[in-house]
Amino acid sequence: MVVLASVLGVFDITLDKLSNGELWLAQFFRGLSDGATYASVALALVMIYKSTGFINFAQGSLALLGVYLAYIFSVEQGLPVAVAVVCAMAASSVVAMFVERVFIRPFPPDHVLPLVIVTLGLLLIIDSAVGIVWGFRTRSLPSMFPSGAPIEWGIAQLTWRTIGNLGTVFAVVGLLYLLLSRTKVGLAFRAVSSNLESARLVGIRVGPTLGFGWALAAAIGTLGGALVVPDLLLEPSIMLRVLIFSLAAAALGGLDSLVGAVIGGLVVGLARNLLVTFLDLSELALATAVAVILVVLLVRPTGLFGSTRVERV
Amino acid sequence: MSAAVSPAYLEVAGLKAAYGDIQVLHGIDFSVDEGQIAVILGANGARKTTTLRALCAMVTTEGSIRLGGEELAGQRTADIVRRGVAHVPQGRGTFPDLSVEENLMAGAYVRSDADVRADMEQWFETFPVLGERRTQAAGSLSGGEQQMLAIARALMLRPSLLLLDEPSLGLAPMITRSLFEQLTAINAAAGTTMLVVEQNASLALGVADVAYVLEAGEVALSGPASELAADDNVRRAYLGY
């Protein structure tokens, strides 16, 4: 009992906190909201992973650029936030296509290691460029969704923003699912990642297909960023932190599963909020995400919903 | 012969290919008439596979490749496919993560006509085992089933020229025989010109019209398949049976 009490003491756990139902519920709602934002960035990672077979570290930076553009369009140019975000999604897609064409396409798509290193380089360059252009002071981007909470239960509030974040991420995953399973370009994506040579031999233009994947992922990443940033402050390193939580979400979900990315995101969001609140671990929140990645890789490398590659010979 | 006067459907002249700095195909010439089945024979390392890959711009090439009078050399793989050239590569010609149906849909990727579904059903009739497994991932099929799928996938293009790289590789003799029967039937029914690389010389010469024997990146011998098959010296020297 003494040991237990001292452990609880270290983590500042009080029975007051643990027995506070409203606090649990409040953190549950917050976790869902955060989780939805991680999930939407994780979806961008999964999209690229599904078509190229590697994790694109530049994804977070393209999203960062997109969010800054959304800030310019809304706060500085005075567009409604939702319209600004849509414009920023389009603009970041164009940038992503350019980046893919210039920096990625010269490398053979089946040699993953050079490509991963190029995306790491792009991450550093784009993040720094954003810092040079817009400076390092923090800004705040308003949310696309109205403030207020339609459902309240003491301190626990189900806010419009939480509902909006969740709704957005479910809409995105639904649209992506339809795109991949019902359209020709979706078939091309999956064919390219399954067998590059045969994809060429059925007439798929591999370069433009991957370029479209980059554009789509940048748009989703920007949307995800626009969900995240209102909770935090906009500054050039913001997406790096989000990227780590989203990577944890994508790894937990299985890297190549859209549904997995959403569930992974929600789990990571909930875990983060509950840990921070009840164990008072706010300094270790990022480490928690990295721990999730490690545990998944050790225990279940294909994640919760990832496909194991079956191939008979 | 009047080959020089009326060019064949596929006319290859001075075809060279290189992997990096190393030239492996040293200027070969061959031709296939429309509707014919041609076979390329030769030992391991004779560059049979390289020859097929060169036709689809899957390696760097020099020389001329004319299909129905149109020059293919210098075009990209995706455009050569749009000229009606389907290629079944050696061993792994399927998309293992896609279902059997999706593999066939991918085979018709460049087509936009309304008959794609009907064609798919037709190949499910020709290869019933594929029809039974239409929603399964291609990677879960056996080697023989995958080879059938790869061929059906190529036929979904409605190709005018079908390139087959060792279709018998890893298949049981009985399955190989029935596969070659299917191929001759398709050739007879649709008039598809075929160029087949094959280790099983006797079987291939049995179905082919013309044959080319490659040796170290050069054409060592060519002629009507029946003549090559009947010549004991040729058989001993090049075909090993």
Query: pLDDT tens digit string along B160-203?
Result: 999 999 998 878 888 888 889 999 999 999 999 999 999 888 88
* CA B216, chain centre distance (Å): 20
Provide CB contacts within 8 A for A29, sequence distance 6+.
A156, A157, A158, A159, A162
CB distance B106–A201 less than 8 Å?
Answer: no
Name which residue leads in pLDDT, B33 or B46.
Answer: B33
- For an interface test with B, the pick among A198, A209, A310 (most B C-beta atoms closer than 10 Å) comes out as A198
Q: Answer yes or no: do B106 and A309 touch at CB < 8 A.
A: no
Please tell me the predicted confidence (pLDDT) of residue B58: 92
Q: From chain A, pick out residues whose CB is under 8 angstroms from the CB of B97.
A: 190, 193-194, 307, 309
- Burial annotation A67-105 (CB, 10 A radius, 16+ → b, else e): bbbbbbbbbeeebebeebbbbbbebbbebbbebbeebbb
Residues B156 and A214: their CA atoms lie apart, in Å, by: 29
- Cβ–Cβ below 8 Å for A310 and B142: no
Q: Which CATH class is domain B1-84+159-241?
A: alpha beta
pLDDT at A86: 97
Could you say which of A188, A191, A310 has the minimum Cβ distance to residue B139? A310
Query: Which chain B positions have a beta carbon within 8 Å of A194's beta carbon?
Result: 95-98
Question: Nearest C-alpha of chain B: how many angstroms from A176?
Answer: 17
pTM for this structure?
0.85
Is the Cβ–Cβ distance between A128 and A105 less than 8 Å? Answer: no
**DSSP label at residue B143:** H
CA distance A92 to A68: 10
- Give yes or no for B60 touching A (CB within 8 A): no
How many CB atoms are located within 10 Å of the residue A174 CB?
11
Instruction: Using alpha carbons, select from A29, A306, A45 the residue that is nearest to residue A172.
Output: A45
pLDDT grade for B45, boundaries at 50, 70 and 90: confident
Q: What is the Cα–Cα distance from A225 to B134, expressed in whole angstroms?
A: 40
DSSP string, A60-78: HHHHHHHHHHHHIIIIIT-
CA distance A181 to chain B (A): 9
**Selected residue of B56, B59, B76, B77 to mutate for chain A interface (largest A Cβ count, 10 A):** B77
CB-CB neighbors (< 8 A) of B58 in chain A: 197, 200-201
* Pairwise CB contact (< 8 Å): A203 & B105: no
Domain with CATH 3.40.50.300 in chain B: 1-84+159-241
Calculate how close chain A gets to B151, using CA atoms only, in Å. 12
Tokens, residue B119: 């064609």
Chain A residues with CB under 8 Å of B170 CB are 313
Which one of B19, B98, B148 would you mutate to disrupt binding with A, by most A Cβ within 10 Å of its Cβ? B98
Using DSSP, how many helices (H) and how many strands (E) does chain B show?
A: 10, 10
The type of residue at A171 is A
User: CB distance from B107 to chain A under 8 Å?
Assistant: yes
Q: Give the closest of B95, B154, B157 to A194, CB-based.
A: B95
Q: How far apart are alpha carbons B142 and A313 in whole angstroms? A: 7
pLDDT in tens, B211-235: 999 988 889 889 999 998 888 877 7
Q: How far is B142 from chain A (nearest CA, A)?
A: 6
How far from A282 is each of A4, A104, A212, A230, A289, CA to CA, in Å? 22, 37, 38, 19, 12
Which residues of chain A form beta strands (DSSP E)? 151-153, 156-158
Contact (CB<8Å) A187/B102? yes
Closest Cα in chain B to A184? B109
State the pLDDT at residue B87.
Answer: 97
Which pLDDT belongs to residue A265? 93
CA distance B199 to chain A (A): 19
E strands, A35-154, where? 151-153
Task: Closest CB to B97: pick one of A188, A194, A204.
Answer: A194
The β-bridge partners of B218 are: B215
With contacts defined as CB-CB under 8 Å, which chain A residues touch B109?
184, 187-188, 191, 202-204
Strands A156-158 and A151-153: antiparallel
Q: What is the structure's pLDDT at A241?
A: 83
What's the CA gap between A199 and A222, in Å, rounded? 29
Q: Are B140 and A204 an interchain contact pair (Cβ–Cβ within 8 Å)? A: no
Q: Which of B 156-175 lie inside 8 A of A, CB atoms? A: 157, 170
Q: Name the residue with tokens 């075909």.
A: B239
Regions in chain A scoring below 70 on pLDDT: 1-14, 308-313
CB contact under 8 A, A205 and B78: yes
Q: What is the pLDDT of residue A49?
A: 86
CA B30 – CA B178 distance, rounded (Å): 28
pLDDT of A218 reads 94
User: Rounded CA gap, A255 and A263, in Å?
Assistant: 12
Sheet holding B22-32, edge to edge: B22-32, B10-19, B60-67, B70-71
Res B77: pLDDT: 95
B contacts of A257 (beta carbons < 8 Å)? none
In 3D space, the residue among A241, A46, A102, A82 whose CA is nearest the CA of residue A168 turns out to be A82
Cβ of B157 within 8 Å of Cβ of A203? The answer is: yes
For chains A and B, what is the number of CB pairs under 8 angstroms?
87
Taking the C-alpha atoms of residue A126 and residue A214, their distance in angstroms, rounded to an integer, is 15
